[in-house]
Structure 1
Amino acid sequence: MSIRLFSRRQFGLTAFATGVSGAAARGARAGEKRPLTIEDCRGRRVTLGTMDRIVSIGGTITETLYALGASGRVVGVDITSTYPVAALREKKSVGYMRQLSADGILSLKPDLVLAMNDSGPPAAIDQIMNASIPTVMIDATPSLDGVRKRILTLSSIIGAGEQGASMVVRFDNQLRTLKAWKELHPQQPRVLFVMRVVNGRPMAAGTGTAADAIIALAGGTNAGSAMQGYKALEREALITLQPDVILMMSQGGQAMRDALLEDPAVLATPAGRNRAVIDMEGEKLLGFGPRTAEAALELAQQINGHMKPA
């Protein structure tokens, strides 16, 4: 996703998030009266105002805004905003990002809504936009390029271009550390991500998911790669996948871990026999935000700890 910023006097001039001019960045600071117009990931042109009261919908957006030093301008967050932990404690909650209420968001009197592109329902998003609240939809693609673009996009919007550029440099340095670690540990174990257990059936991740992307980034092989999206697995299908490791979110808690390790189908896999279950904080693992490279290295090291020497 590229973000384009325009002033009203020079609407034809374009500045991308990878190189927004100093004047454009200064114009996006809180309280600045000079309006800017941007193009979001849906191709919508949105005119920005003061940006003193931001509602952040999506944990990745919230985490990035806090990292950029803009927490004081955030008045509301959704419940996926689990990092930093202060966000949900200090800010008003607008509910789950895919089950939003426009009335709840509008009651906070925001002058800017930043929302991940997969937020919803669509009717609620449309209602917010129709209320003439500047609403910028942020690309949700779970990729390394997506991480960089989200950082640069958000930093450009709030006038923190230098901080955003520094964050990207730090992110790329962490990726180099991850690459070096993987070169020393070339095993590609089969990892199955389980989102939750529904009626005794594990809901596992296939391709086209953030879980698939983070497993690959960590040097693993997604045991569910023959599937598309998330699927509830029957016992025979789970046994056939033969994962070496099962990955879950820590939000599932001990109850979910116990349910997996008591499942006869799981026990018929290397992961079950070796009790190789890894849990990680969900937003860090799947958010594809500033901590993604750190999360991938942590996951790679934990996976390696469950594997027998080649």
Structure 2
Amino acid sequence: MDHTKRLRITGVIVAVIVVFSIAGYIDLIHPGTVDKGKEITVGTDVNGIHINKIVSLSPAATGTLYALGVSSDIIAVGPCTHFPYNVTENLQKVTCYPDFSAQQIINLKPDAVISSSSYKATEVQELLDAGINYIYLDSGSGSTFHLIEKQDTLLGKLTGTMSNASKLNSWMNTSLNDFKDTGLTNKSVFYALCIENHAPWTSGNNTFINSMFNYAHLKNVMTDSGFFQASTQVVANDSPQVLLLGTRVNLSQINTPTYESTPAYKNDSVFQITDADVYSEPNFRDIFAIQDLIQSVYNKTVNIPEFPLHLEYNVNPTSTVEKVKT
């Protein structure tokens, strides 16, 4: 090899070393530089975004992901996620209430976190700074089945399962229309979520359970918005025809003159929720809860279409509500 060629090769090697040295120096100054994650809601343009390593802090979203056929993409869930048990029992559980541990989640290296709770902006920012997408599915005030369908569509786009999301939404829409066409006359209902210091916590307008009542042909006697504690006298004055009790209500708590004076108590129309998860996790499974509620209150079977997606584990809860002997 002549002297000139050796000089050229040596120059190339030196140049490469310099380039890598500069790159190493930059990385030393800005360690772990990554693209920021994106904060996503149902109104976000998600074209070009695909997720397949998911931490789901939302039990409702976990159920929906299972229905869409991508439960294998979930790498961790919150400790309160129970459905589907056969899928979630062996998944890692991460802290998610009242706050989540950003570092715990970051260590799992997901490409997305799904939540239906409002967390601190600083916690969310930690995830975004680590390059993790944060998907917020609102389930609070004003939640409706229309919103659920939008969330199904969003998850379908993000996971590449739009076909299944469309089938799920079509099934929900058909079922909701079947509930409307029952010819039933609405009965008035009071919902006691729980009772503290003899006063019941209940729900009014702009709550998801109120939307369920509307499809179940039940008129909520509580007209205020959100969840609040009502006086027992208000319950007596509103004379509900149906009493619906949350899972935490003990029958002895309503064996009082106030409740005993209601038409619901007198006519043996007191029911208790047996599956708290279904009633507290807005997603497609609430269709089955409405069907069960109509059957229990009105003794009427509403036939809805067969569930359109073939899954290993049954998505239809065996029972969500039962009559209570007063």
State the TM-score, normalizing by the size of structure 1.
0.74
Query: 1:149 maps to which residue?
Result: 150
**Contact 1:80-1:96 within 8 A present in 2 as well:** no
CA deviation map 1:101-155 (0-9, x unaligned)? 3233333322211222x33244433332333311122243521211211111101
Shift of 1:80: 4.4
Shift of 1:75: 1.2
Shift of 1:158: 0.3
Shift of 1:209: 1.3
Cα distance between partner residues in 2 of 1:121 and 1:260: 37
Query: 1:297 maps to which residue?
Result: 291
**Contact 2:46-2:158 within 8 A present in 1 as well:** no
| Higher normalized strand content (fraction of residues) | 1
Query: 1:94 maps to which residue?
Result: 94
Q: Which moved more, 1:159-168 or 1:126-135?
A: 126-135
Cα distance between partner residues in 2 of 1:48 and 1:101: 28
1:257 aligned residue (250, 260, 264): 250
Q: Which moved more, 1:70-79 or 1:38-47?
A: 38-47
Query: 1:231 maps to which residue?
Result: 228
Residue 267, structure 1, aligned to residue 279, structure 2: no
Q: Which amino acid aligns with 1:208?
A: N
1:138-287 equivalence runs, <5 A: 138-140=137-139, 142-180=143-181, 182-183=182-183, 186-225=184-223, 227-250=224-247, 252=248, 256-273=249-266, 274=268, 276-287=270-281
1:121–1:203 distance in 2 versus 1, CA, 3 Å = farther
Query: 1:24 maps to which residue?
Result: none
CA deviation map 1:50-107 (0-9, x unaligned)? 6332011212211110111111110112244332223441222224555433233333
Q: Which amino acid aligns with 2:202?
A: A
Shift of 1:232: 1.4
Structure 2 alignment gaps of length 5 or more: 1-34, 300-321
CA deviation map 1:269-291 (0-9, x unaligned)? 22233261231423322433112
**Contact 1:80-1:97 within 8 A present in 2 as well:** no
Q: Would you say how many aligned residue pairs link Structure 1 and Structure 2?
A: 263
User: Max radius of gyration: which structure?
Assistant: 2
Cα distance between partner residues in 2 of 1:292 and 1:119: 22
Q: Which moved more, 1:196-205 or 1:283-292?
A: 283-292
Provide the alpha-carbon RMSD of the alignment. Answer: 2.9
**Contact 2:40-2:133 within 8 A present in 1 as well:** no
1:241–1:88 distance in 2 versus 1, CA, 3 Å = farther
Percent identical among aligned pairs is 20
**Contact 1:188-1:219 within 8 A present in 2 as well:** yes
Query: 2:70 maps to which residue?
Result: 70
Cα distance between partner residues in 1 of 2:48 and 2:57: 17
1:99–1:191 distance in 2 versus 1, CA, 3 Å = farther
Cα distance between partner residues in 2 of 1:187 and 1:213: 17
Cα distance between partner residues in 1 of 2:38 and 2:195: 42
**Contact 2:106-2:127 within 8 A present in 1 as well:** yes
1:126-145 equivalence runs, <5 A: 126-140=125-139, 142-145=143-146
Cα distance between partner residues in 1 of 2:45 and 2:39: 4
Query: 2:18 maps to which residue?
Result: none
